[in-house]
């Protein structure tokens, strides 16, 4: 699969300035205004909970997501707007390590580095180019291949893990390649092809997955041969992440893997739960990945397996409106798994999702 | 003296043989980092089992340090044998792990002595400490369902992780074992926010436990089977 086969319009839309608003009929005007208000109140909450050093939850990852929520908002915040933007940037820069990673901890180094450079890129400040390039090299080095003893037939091949261990998973590689894509990493690097191998092996699609466990619903598990929700079951957050990863890595809408993943989303369409997940685990991760994926896929409406048409922007806006607390925050009341007991994280993810809804 | 030397060699051989046997049965697909960490854990387990098996003998007074040194050397030998040193970081990690296993054995030895002052039964004390170590090490597995229900479990998860000797070894090995494949599949901890304890602080704590336990054991100094047995051996030795 060549990177040149990327369908340019859908992916280019991800890189457009955040101020191109979805006001030309892609969703109901009243709901668009609601989405803007929801995002504003979410950002207001984040302003209130921001620490003196600019961080959220004392975490590089949460801080980077909070920063991204501001920088990609339709209001077009920049570093010129004040300390609420410059301080979190400084917090990220203060956690740049010698190996190029950006993290306050040895765990989560890949996640932290990936979301940190995505946020730094969103500042459009060329002063961070070297830091971003070093972080790209760090992420690139994390990818498992023959250099680490993983040959192409190994289920780990092409994957990327947390950085504190070698066990790769789809969520980590999704964040990694999103960061690499957004920060403009070399499109001809073999990394993309290797990533596609790993992503394909996480999909329940025996036509394109050479692993014996693969079934045929088209959805994605957490990693080859394992789902935290039982066996190798497909679920919403990973299927959205898997589909977006395929698009980032160079697959197009005609690719059988993309078609199968989209069909899974059609068959399991909902914004009320993270479909397929136990106890609604990873619900806000799902909203975030789902919104980005649907925007990248470029369809205004999604027709589900029963033939019912859904405007995903409107559905997600209504759902997030119903879940927002009076203080403007969101939190997963069903399960703290994947850090979703943290209001700052859930709020940042919700605002980023709303930014996808609002921005064309 | 000669008898003690033979026992020492016997002890070392058992540690090496046990670790080696387990090491060779590890699946070859294991990542190097996980392999290193697992080997150290296996050596530690072997050493603790051997501490237990020697519980009825009198090795624990001078033997506490001796056992720790031997366990550490055993780890170093097995790691170096199985994972060739290819870069300086690996070399350093091997030493760190060996030191960690030695410190844990030293700490366990002290606790066994202290407990024996109350039980007058060294094998039973050894067994109790071994069970305690297993209980703490497996806490991320058996506390998982409860921790998964707590809305903001950061403090609780960190505490459970800090008390596990495996976490100490993980810190030294720079290996996030809770997100390794096996633990990730069997415990919810990998999906929660947590921090491993600082290796330096944990080392001080474990050495402290070993020294304080030893001191208290000496302070209590009740006549015990250990003392009796030691007296018996020294009388029997010409």
Nearest-Cα residue of chain B relative to residue A343: B152
- Residue to mutate among A49, A146, A157, A167, with most B CBs inside 10 A, is A167
User: What is residue A60's predicted lDDT score, i.e. its pLDDT?
Assistant: 98
Nearest-Cα residue of chain A relative to residue B181: A167
Select from A101, A170, A86, A163 the least CA-distant residue to A132: A101
pLDDT digits (tens, 9 = 90+) for B78-107: 777 666 554 445 667 778 888 898 899 889
- Residue to mutate among B193, B194, B197, B198, with most A CBs inside 10 A, is B193
Collapsing DSSP to helix, strand or coil, A58 comes out as coil
- Using the Cβ of B59 and the Cβ atoms of chain A, whether some distance falls under 8 Å is answered with no
Chain A neighbors of B34, CB-CB under 8 A: 165-167
Nearest-Cα residue of chain A relative to residue B193: A339
Chain B neighbors of A335, CB-CB under 8 A: 148
pLDDT digits (tens, 9 = 90+) for B149-206: 776 666 788 999 999 998 998 888 888 889 888 888 888 898 888 889 999 999 999 9
Q: Quick one: pLDDT band at residue B31, thresholds 50, 70, 90? A: low
ipTM score of complex = 0.82
**Per-residue H/E/C for B148-215:** CCCCCCHHHHHHHHHHCHHHHHHHHHCCCHHHCHHHHHHCHHHHCCCCCCCHHHHHHHHHHHHHHHHH
Chain A neighbors of B150, CB-CB under 8 A: 336, 341
- Using the Cβ of B191 and the Cβ atoms of chain A, whether some distance falls under 8 Å is answered with yes
Q: Of A106, A149, A339, which is closest to B193 when you measure between CB atoms? A: A339
pLDDT digits (tens, 9 = 90+) for B105-127: 889 889 988 998 898 888 788 88
Chain B neighbors of A166, CB-CB under 8 A: 31-34
Q: Mean pLDDT, 10 residues at a time, over chain A (360 residues)?
A: 42 46 76 97 98 97 98 95 97 97 92 98 97 98 90 94 85 97 96 97 96 94 93 96 97 96 97 95 97 94 95 98 97 91 96 94
Return d(Cα A226, Cα A203) in angstroms, integer: 11
What is the residue-wise DSSP string for B5-74? HHHHHHHHHHHHHHHHHHHHHS-TTS-HHHHHHHHHHHHHHHHHHHHHHTTTSS-HHHHHHHHHHHHHHH
Q: From the CB of residue A307, how many other CB atoms can be counted at a distance below 10 Å?
A: 7
- Using the Cβ of B124 and the Cβ atoms of chain A, whether some distance falls under 8 Å is answered with no
Q: Quick one: pLDDT band at residue B36, thresholds 50, 70, 90? A: low
Domain range for B146 is 2-236
User: What is residue B58's predicted lDDT score, i.e. its pLDDT?
Assistant: 43
Number of domains in chain B: 1
Pairing of strands A301-303, A309-311: antiparallel
Chain A neighbors of B174, CB-CB under 8 A: 106, 164
Classify domain A3-358 by CATH number. 1.50.10.20
Q: Give the start-to-end residue ranges of the domains of chain A.
A: 3-358
User: What is residue A20's predicted lDDT score, i.e. its pLDDT?
Assistant: 53
| Contact check, Cβ <8 Å, B185/A226 | yes
């Amino acid at each position: 699969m060549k990177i040149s086969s990327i369908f340019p319009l859908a992916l280019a839309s991800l890189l457009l300035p955040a101020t191109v608003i979805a006001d030309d009929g892609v969703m109901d005007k009243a709901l668009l205004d609601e989405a803007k208000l929801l995002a504003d109140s979410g950002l207001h909450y984040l302003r209130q909970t921001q620490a003196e050093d600019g961080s959220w939850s004392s975490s590089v990852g949460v801080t980077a997501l909070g920063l991204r929520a501001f920088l990609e908002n339709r209001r077009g915040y920049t570093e010129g707007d004040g300390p609420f933007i410059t301080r979190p940037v400084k917090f990220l820069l203060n956690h740049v390590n010698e190996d190029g990673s950006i993290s306050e901890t040895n765990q989560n180094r890949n996640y932290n580095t990936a979301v940190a450079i995505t946020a730094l890129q969103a500042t459009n400040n060329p002063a961070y180019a070297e830091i971003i390039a070093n972080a790209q090299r760090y992420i690139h080095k994390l990818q498992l291949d023959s250099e680490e003893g993983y040959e192409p037939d190994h289920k780990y091949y092409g994957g990327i893990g947390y950085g504190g261990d070698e066990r790769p998973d789809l969520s980590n590689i999704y964040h990694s390649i999103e960061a690499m894509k957004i920060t403009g990493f070399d499109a001809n690097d073999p990394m993309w092809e290797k990533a596609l191998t790993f992503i394909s092996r996480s999909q329940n699609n025996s036509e394109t997955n050479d692993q014996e466990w693969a079934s045929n619903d088209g959805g994605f598990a957490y990693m080859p041969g394992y789902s935290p929700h039982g066996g190798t079951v497909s679920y919403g957050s990973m299927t959205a992440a898997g589909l977006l990863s395929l698009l980032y890595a160079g697959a197009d809408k005609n690719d059988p893997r993309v078609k199968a993943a989209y069909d899974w989303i059609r068959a399991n369409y909902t914004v009320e739960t993270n479909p397929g997940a136990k106890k609604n685990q990873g619900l806000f991760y799902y909203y975030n990945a789902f919104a980005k994926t649907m925007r990248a896929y470029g369809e205004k409406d999604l027709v589900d397996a029963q033939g019912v048409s859904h405007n995903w922007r409107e559905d997600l806006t209504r759902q997030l409106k119903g879940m927002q607390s009076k203080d403007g925050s969101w939190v997963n009341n069903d399960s703290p798994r994947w850090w979703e007991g943290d209001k700052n994280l859930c709020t940042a993810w919700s605002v980023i999702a709303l930014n996808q809804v609002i921005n064309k | 003296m000669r008898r003690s030397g033979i026992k020492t060699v016997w002890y070392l051989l058992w540690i090496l043989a046990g670790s080696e046997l387990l090491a060779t049965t590890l699946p070859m697909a294991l990542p190097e980092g996980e392999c290193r960490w697992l080997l150290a854990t296996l050596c530690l387990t072997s050493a603790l089992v051997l501490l237990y098996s020697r519980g009825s003998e009198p090795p624990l007074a001078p033997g506490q340090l001796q056992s720790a040194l031997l366990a550490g050397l055993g780890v170093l030998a097995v790691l170096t044998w199985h994972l060739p040193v290819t870069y300086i970081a690996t070399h350093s990690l091997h030493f760190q792990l060996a030191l960690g296993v030695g410190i844990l054995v030293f700490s366990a030895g002290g606790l066994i002595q202290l407990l024996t002052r109350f039980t007058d039964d060294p094998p039973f004390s050894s067994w109790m400490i071994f069970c305690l170590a297993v209980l703490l090490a497996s806490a991320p597995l058996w506390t998982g369902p409860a921790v998964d229900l707590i809305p903001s479990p950061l403090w609780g998860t960190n505490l459970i992780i800090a008390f596990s000797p495996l976490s100490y070894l993980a810190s030294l090995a720079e290996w996030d074992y809770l997100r390794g494949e096996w633990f990730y599949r069997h415990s919810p901890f990998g999906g929660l926010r947590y921090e491993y304890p600082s290796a330096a602080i944990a080392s001080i704590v474990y050495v402290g436990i070993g020294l304080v336990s030893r001191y208290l054991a000496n302070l209590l100094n009740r006549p015990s089977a250990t003392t009796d047995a030691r007296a018996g051996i020294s009388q029997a030795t010409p």
